[in-house]
Amino acid sequence: MQSTESSFENIRKDFPILKRTVRDNKPLVYLDNASTTQKPNQVIDAITDYYQNHNANIHRAVYALAEESTEAYESARDKIANFVNVKNRQEIIFVRGTTEAINLVAYAWGRSHVDEGDIIVTTEYEHHSNIVPWQLLTQEKRAKLEYIGMDDNGELNLDDLDKYLATGKVKLVTFSLMSNVLGTITDAKKIIEKCKAAGVLTLIDGAQAVPHMKVDLDTLGCDFFAFSGHKMLAPTGVGILWVRKSVLQTMNPFHGGGDMIREVHKYETTWNDLPYKFEAGTPNIADVIGFGAAIDYLTKIGMDNVRQHEIELTKYAMEKFAKIPGLQIYGTKDIAKRGGVISFNFADVHPHDVADIIDKEGISLRSGHHCAQVLMERLNVAATSRASFYIYNTKEDVDALIDSLNIVAKVFKL
Partner 1 sequence: MSSGTDIYHEMIVDYSRNPVNFGKIEDHDVTFHDSNPLCGDSIDIDMKIDDHKVSDIKFHGKGCAICMACSSVLTEITKGKSLEEIKKIDKHDILSELGLEHLQAVRIKCALLSLKVLKGALYTYLGSHLEDTEGIDKLKTEAENLY
Residues that bind partner 1 (CB under 8 A): 24, 348-353, 356-357, 360, 367-369, 373, 376, 382-383, 407, 411-413
Q: Which of 22, 66, 371, 382 is catalytic?
A: 371
b (16+ CB within 10 A) / e for 233-255: bbbbbbbbbbbbeeebeebebbe
- Provide the 10 A C-beta neighbour count for residue 262: 11
Question: Amino acid identity, residue 200?
Answer: V
Identify which of residues 201 and 408 has a Cβ nearer to partner 1 in the complex. 408
Closest distance to partner 1 from the beta carbon of 357 (Å): 5
Rounded Cα distance between 228 and 214, Å, is 15
Q: Tell me whether residue 222 is one of the annotated catalytic residues.
A: no
Q: Does residue 124 contact residue 149 with C-beta atoms inside 8 Å? A: yes
User: Which of 279, 299, 297 is closest to 46 using CA atoms?
Assistant: 297
List 32's β-bridge partners, or say none: 388
Candidates 219, 218, 275; CA nearest to 77 is 275
Shortest Å distance, C-beta 382 to partner 1: 4
DSSP H stretches of helix in 51-145: 64-83, 98-104, 110-113, 132-141
By CB neighbour count within 10 A (0-12 exposed, 13-18 middle, 19+ buried), where does 412 fall? Answer: middle
Residue of 198, 131, 211 lying closest to 168 (CA atoms) = 198
> In this structure, how many other beta carbons lie within 10 angstroms of the beta carbon of residue 17?
12
Nearer to partner 1, 198 or 381 (CB): 381
How distant, in Å, are the alpha carbons of 33, 52, 140, 210, 242 from that of 290?
18, 14, 37, 17, 19
CA distance 330 to 326: 13
Q: Which is nearer to partner 1, 272 or 367 (CB)?
A: 367
- Give the shortest CB-24-to-partner 1 separation in angstroms: 7
Cβ closest to partner 1, residue 23 vs residue 395: 23
Q: Name the residue type at position 399.
A: D
Q: What are phi and psi of 82, to 5 degrees?
A: -65, -40
Nearer to partner 1, 280 or 382 (CB): 382
- Nearer to partner 1 by Cβ, of 129 and 284: the residue is 129
Which residue number, 24 or 263, has a Cβ lying nearer to partner 1? 24
Residues designated catalytic: 371
